[in-house]
Structure 1
Amino acid sequence: MKAYLCKFIPPRADFLTTMTADEAKWMKQHGAFLDDLLAKGVVVAHGPVMDPNGGYGVSLYQIADGESIEAITSQDPIVKNGAGHYEHYPMRHLAARG
C-alpha cells in the first residue's frame, strides 16, 4: 500500500468566499467524490483548512501499489471542471484510528 497527503489548491486565495454558482455546485460534487472514496477506504480523512492566507483542502489517501494517485485525483469533479488542482505528497507510513 502507498499513502499520500493530497492538498487541493483552489483557483484563487479567496475561493471559499467568492465561489460562483457553478463552482459551488462542483464543490458539492467534490465533497461527494471524497466521501465516496472515504466509504471505499481509499481516503482515510479529508476536509478544508481555514488558512488566513487562503483556504485549501487536505485529504489522506491509502492506495494499492499499482494505483496512481494522479489518476484518482484527476477524476475529482472540481479538478475536471478546471477549478483547482492537487499537489501530491508521498508518505512513508500512514497510521489511523479504527
Structure 2
Amino acid sequence: MPGYLCKFIPPRADFLSTMTPDEKIWMGQHGAYLDEMTSRGLVVAHGPVIDPTGSYGVSLWQIDAGQDIAALTGEDPIIRNGVGHYDHFPMIHLRSRDQAAVR
C-alpha cells in the first residue's frame, strides 16, 4: 500500500489568524473530510503544524495501489473551494502503531 505525506499549504502565511468567514467554514469541512478519510482507513494521522514562519497542515495517507493521492486530496473541501494546495511526498515505507501488531 503506497504511503504519502501530504502537506496542506494555505494561501498565506497568516492564514490561521486571518481566515474569512467562508474560509472558516471550509476549514471545518476540511477537518471533517480528513476525519472521514481517517475513519475509512486512508489517513493514518492528520493535524495542523504551528510554524512561526507560516503554519500548514500535515496528513499521512496509506492508500491502495490503484488510488490517486492527488484525486483524493483534490476532493478536500478546502481545495475544492480554491483555498491553498497540497504538496504530495511519496514514502518508501509507512507503518503505524496499529499495523505493528498485524505485521
The Cα RMSD (Å) is 0.4
Where has structure 1 moved over 4 Å in runs of 4 or more? none
Separation in structure 1 between the aligned mates of residue 16 and residue 55 of structure 2, nearest angstrom: 7
Deviation at 1:95, TM superposition (A): 1.0
Tell me the TM-score normalised to structure 1 length.
Answer: 0.99
1:12-51 mapped onto 2 (5 Å cutoff): 12-51=12-51
Deviation at 1:81, TM superposition (A): 0.3
1:72-83 mapped onto 2 (5 Å cutoff): 72-83=72-83
Tell me the TM-score normalised to structure 2 length.
Answer: 0.94
| Matching residue's letter, 2:59 | S
- 3-state SS of paired residue (2:97): coil
Q: Tell me what 2:60 maps to.
A: 60
Q: Tell me what 1:11 maps to.
A: 11
Separation in structure 2 between the aligned mates of residue 80 and residue 95 of structure 1, nearest angstrom: 30
Structure 1: tracts of 5 or more residues without a match:
none
Separation in structure 1 between the aligned mates of residue 82 and residue 12 of structure 2, nearest angstrom: 12
Structure 2: tracts of 5 or more residues without a match:
99-103
Deviation at 1:11, TM superposition (A): 0.3
Separation in structure 1 between the aligned mates of residue 16 and residue 65 of structure 2, nearest angstrom: 34
Higher-Rg structure is 2
